[in-house]
Structure 1
Amino acid sequence: MAAALELVEALGHTGLTIEAVAARAGVGKQTIYRWWPSKGALLFEAFLEFEPGGQEPPRPSALADDLRRAVADAIDEVTQRRFDQVCRLLVHEERADLLALLMAPRRLAVEERLRRAQLLGEISADLDVVAAAELLLGPVYQRWLLRSAPLCDSFADTLVELVLRSLRGGP
């Protein structure tokens, strides 16, 4: 698994082969295929095993600050070469189930913060927090996937401002 992550970071997902992973790990190709049916499955398990997992618990602060941090963290994550290459391979292999597992913890953390905001009266009690979390994180993942525009802190600020304005129903 370590060999696969090292190689995907060095070669990118298109340059990664099972043969190269086997050579780097000092095992035969069949050994790898015995445990993982594809590059995507191998990289997914390696990523979960070796990358930092879980999200920091929310700290007490303003809703806007928490959401800006969540969006900025998502941007930081998808712009790391290792994460980028693993996820692009999973997209290429149409492994949406595995890709969702990598991104789900961040979405769940945002949903939890929005639920807390509901309890505190910061946003409407009848807000669909799942849709609101997707509204915040979806543009990050779209920009990452399409490489349509830069992912930066100013984008996070703008995105949070727009989403909070719509959630609060204000100008």
Structure 2
Amino acid sequence: MAPTKAPDSSRRSDRSRRAIHDAALALVTEVGYRRTTIEGIAARAGVGKQTIYRWWPSKAAVLMDAFLDLAGRAAEDAGAGSGPGDTGESAPGIPDTGDLAADLKLVLRATVDELNDPALEAPTRALTAEGIVDAKLGAEFVHKLLDPQLALYVTRLRAAQEAGDVRADVDPRIALELLIGPLMHRWLLRTLPLTHAYADEIVDYAVGGLAPRA
């Protein structure tokens, strides 16, 4: 008789983690952050509460981990379409084709698509809103998710400075807020549609003010 193969505990743990992630994201989308509970996540994922508390201290931590995993998978999917024919792009990072406006428009259009994606919108809003009242969660959200993305803008803007496309006296960290700030303002307030055309206008206005003056 062939020996019985022992269950792979790591695979079981991975399946449980993914089920918990999916359950947390689904519940936040359906009922909102406030009404999402550890009990609800456990029931939706088909695991016990103790399993969740073994890995995470709170529902905020579960949602943060789930959202980071989702964002990572979305980034992988977005990068899967790039191939040897793609030129001028440094990975990971913002493309550097030599045309700053075109590169920024490409990235801001992708950001618009992410913010309008129902799978990403609800957890992003939940973490953004909760981070305002929960300083620890807000700091973690900024440190783990926002800062790495904003650093890519700083790198691209510094390269543009070296190429003479951006004034030497411009602070890249402040300049990137001219790009991200209006986009997030419109998205948060839901006053007007968030579109590719709007993203393009933001870039045109910002780059026009950053360019060297004759």
Q: Give TM-score scaled by structure 2 length.
A: 0.70
Q: Answer yes or no: is the 8 Å Cα contact 2:166–2:212 preserved in 1.
A: no
Query: Among residues 122, 141, 161, which one is paired with 1:118 in the alignment?
Result: 161
Q: Deviations over 1:79-138 (max 9, x none)?
A: 222322112222332232233232223321111111110010011122100000111111
The answer on 1:69 being equivalent to 2:69 is no
| Larger relative contact order (Cα-Cα within 8 Å, sequence gap ≥ 6) | 1
Supply the AA of the counterpart residue of 2:112.
I
Mean alpha-carbon deviation: is it higher for 12-21 or for 60-69? 12-21
- In structure 2, do the counterparts of structure 1 residues 125 and 170 end up closer, same or farther at CA, with 3 Å as the change threshold? closer
Supply the AA of the counterpart residue of 2:129.
H
Supply the AA of the counterpart residue of 2:55.
W
Give the equivalent residue in structure 2 for 1:133: 176
**Which residues in structure 2 correspond to 1:3-152 (within 5 Å)?**
3-51=23-71, 52=73, 53=75, 56-57=92-93, 58-94=95-131, 95-100=137-142, 101-152=144-195
Instruction: Give the share of equivalent positions with the same residue, in percent.
Output: 41
Distance in structure 2 (CA, Å) of the matches to 1:129 and 1:64? 15
Supply the AA of the counterpart residue of 1:85.
A
Gapped regions of structure 2 (runs ≥ 5): 1-20, 77-90, 132-136
Q: Deviations over 1:6-50 (max 9, x none)?
A: 333444445533222101222223432343233222111112224
Q: Answer yes or no: is the 8 Å Cα contact 2:96–2:156 preserved in 1.
A: no
CA RMSD, 1 decimal: 2.4
Give the equivalent residue in structure 2 for 1:160: 203
Distance in structure 2 (CA, Å) of the matches to 1:149 and 1:7? 27
Distance in structure 2 (CA, Å) of the matches to 1:15 and 1:154? 36
Q: Answer yes or no: is the 8 Å Cα contact 1:36–1:42 preserved in 2.
A: yes
Mean alpha-carbon deviation: is it higher for 161-170 or for 48-57? 48-57
Larger Rg: 2
Q: Give TM-score scaled by structure 1 length.
A: 0.85
User: What is the count of residue pairs matched by the alignment?
Assistant: 171
